[in-house]
Amino acid sequence: MDPVEISGLIEAGFENATVKVFSADNTHFEALVVAEEFAGKRPLARHQLVYRCLGALVGNEIHALSIRALTPDEWRAQDAG
């Protein structure tokens, strides 16, 4: 898989999300997902929402996935800091 494919799968699972996926080897990935759906959710619940978008690919085609899951407000605050 490549980062563009993974980005598309994650984007399809959220409304108006900003998704950026990076990989040096197309097996180990880093994802930044900014979505309103994360509001009020703990990190584990946020990651589960992302994993749900990818299904059985995680652990198979996607060997490892590091996720930064933020709300738009958290992203703006981080960007300003």
CATH of the domain at 38: 3.30.300.90
Asked if pLDDT for residue 79 goes beyond 90, the answer is no
Alpha-carbon span 8 to 10, nearest angstrom: 5
Alpha-carbon span 30 to 56, nearest angstrom: 17
Instruction: Read off the tokens for 47.
Output: 């990651």
Alpha-carbon span 75 to 60, nearest angstrom: 30
Give the whole-number percent of the chain exceeding pLDDT 90.
Answer: 81
Asked if pLDDT for residue 80 goes beyond 80, the answer is no
Please tell me which residue, 34 or 60, carries the higher pLDDT value: 34
C-beta of residue 39 within 8 angstroms of C-beta of residue 24: no
Question: Number of folded domains in the chain?
Answer: 1
Residue 12 is part of which domain span?
3-80
Residue type, 69: A
Q: For residue 61, what pLDDT is reported?
A: 87
Structure pTM? 0.92
Alpha-carbon span 43 to 35, nearest angstrom: 13
